[in-house]
Structure 1
Amino acid sequence: MDKTNPLLRTPGREARRHAPAILGAVVAAIALMVVLIVASRVGGARTPSPDEPTVTTATPADVVVTDQTASPTVDASGSAAASRSLSVQCKSECTLVLTAAGDADVELTVDGPLTHARLLATDPTSTRMQVVGTGTIQVTASAARQVDLTVADESR
């Protein structure tokens, strides 16, 4: 048998024959994934005003977030400070991730019937904490000039 016959179908020749189509499909799939990732990150982006509390809840029916307040203040030295507060009502035990982000000197205070609290990350501009509890949990975030407070329920 002659191995130089171009009509002879070998696995190597078949792979080379179909390589452009397979490569094109892989490149198209990667491009589609990149477009979807970029669209999901850019699509809902909005910058809240400094006077508007940012409270995001992705919670089931047994977790209720209320009492959203924002209070920018200026002290005697002329330094601006901001704080945001809210109450989270958990009818059954819930696991919450609290995120406070601001310009500088961010502090996060949690008060209520907690069974567990764990600091996830902290730096001068943000703090993340995971808490587990039942009942009314009070959350307050403060920072220099501006602060955002986010609550996410991870009880599911």
Structure 2
Amino acid sequence: MANNIEKITSIEEQIEKLKEKRKNLEKQMQQNIGAELLKEWNIESEEEAIKWIQKLAVQVNEKKNNPRRGMSMKLKTDNLAKSQELKKQIADLQKKKSQLQNETQRRASWEQRKARTKRLIETGALAEKYFGLETLTTEEREKVFQTFSGFIKSKIQQK
């Protein structure tokens, strides 16, 4: 179980690193796209760029699948593909983390059931040893335990 906790922690760290890497890649992609627009449109102010972008948004969306410049568009496409791949890796790691958490929880439940079963068996064995209950029915054993339960509970609470 400790091994799974270490794996989950490791996966969480990997997810954070991939998220940071993806964030940086997208930031770089945005900077590259912005620089390309400023260069191609010969724009020198942010306000002017925003006005042009708003005016030309429809045309740009229509032409986004028709690259004008092979090299710069390929770089942007590569960055987008890398970003999508990082997103997929993050999703895969999150799924693996969830599986490990479920396995850890199942194992803990199993361990608790195992400990309870052991305790019940040991208690039953002690009851048979000290009270000779082997020949009694379930109802008769219950009456014996009810008879002594108040006394035993009071002694346990005194400790």
Q: TM-score surpassing 0.5?
A: no
TM-score (structure 2 length as normaliser): 0.31
Larger Rg: 2
| Greater per-residue strand proportion | 1
TM-score (structure 1 length as normaliser): 0.32
